[in-house]
Structure 1
């Protein structure tokens, strides 16, 4: 696995993340008949909150992003995009594990939605997410916190 780092996002990151989102989601949105080049970028711009977002860097270069937005008794995992050329190398799993550990320490559930048929769903299922509801486009998933007594020793 490549060395990676998380850094806080800034307002200046929005356009790079919008482009990354378009590249990552294009295959699934095309398959679902819902790809719109303008809309895929604008939805990111409209929902981008730097205070809850981290940039994923590999070798000092932008590799992805992830947001963890607090809500009542839960967090929403949003805008989790990783450069397609870096997918499958364990980076996404490592980033997700780090965020989930934080949520477990706060005894908070984590929710997300993933596009129907997306390969990302397997990643989420491996990390304990289960389906809450779904429709023709989205699958809404939840992961309850892991109790402290189940944490590995040394945590």
Structure 2
């Protein structure tokens, strides 16, 4: 597993995260016939809230982002992007594990949505997320507090 750090995002991070989102989601959005070079970035800008967002760094460089937004009945895991060359190296699992442990301590479920066919779905399933609903574009998943057995070992 690689060494990584996580820090609170600032308003100055928005453009770098928007660019990362465009890179990470491009293949899935193109496969679904929904890629728009401007819209993919603007949707991040419109939803970006530094108060609920963290930046993931590897070697002092921006490597990813993740947001955890409070909702009435759960927390929403959003904007979880990791640079393609770092995927599959344990960084995403480590970040996700830390966030889920926090939610478990607070006793709240976590929701996430992923694009149909995205390999990210396997990551969430390994961490105890299950299908809630889906449509032709999105898969909505939920994880009860505590996950399937109270804690994850990935």
TM-score, scaled to structure 2? 0.95
Identify the residue that residue 23 of structure 2 maps to in structure 1.
Answer: 23
- Mapping of residues 26-105 of structure 1, within 5 Å: 26-105=26-105
Identify the residue that residue 2 of structure 1 maps to in structure 2.
Answer: 2
Looking at structure 1, the residues matched to 56 and 9 of structure 2 have their Cα atoms a distance apart, in angstroms, of 9
Which consecutive residues of structure 1, in runs of 5 or more, have no partner in the other structure?
Answer: none
* 1:150 CA displacement: 3.9
* 1:151 CA displacement: 5.1
* 1:73 CA displacement: 2.9
Identify the residue that residue 113 of structure 2 maps to in structure 1.
Answer: 113
SS at match of 2:62: strand
* 1:102 CA displacement: 0.1
Once superposed, which parts of structure 1, at least 4 consecutive aligned residues long, lie more than 3 Å away?
A: 149-152
Looking at structure 2, the residues matched to 31 and 99 of structure 1 have their Cα atoms a distance apart, in angstroms, of 30
SS at match of 2:2: coil
Seen in structure 2, the aligned counterparts of structure 1 residues 74 and 146 have a Cα distance that, compared at 3 Å, is: same
* 1:43 CA displacement: 0.2
TM-score, scaled to structure 1? 0.95
Seen in structure 2, the aligned counterparts of structure 1 residues 66 and 36 have a Cα distance that, compared at 3 Å, is: same
* 1:72 CA displacement: 1.1
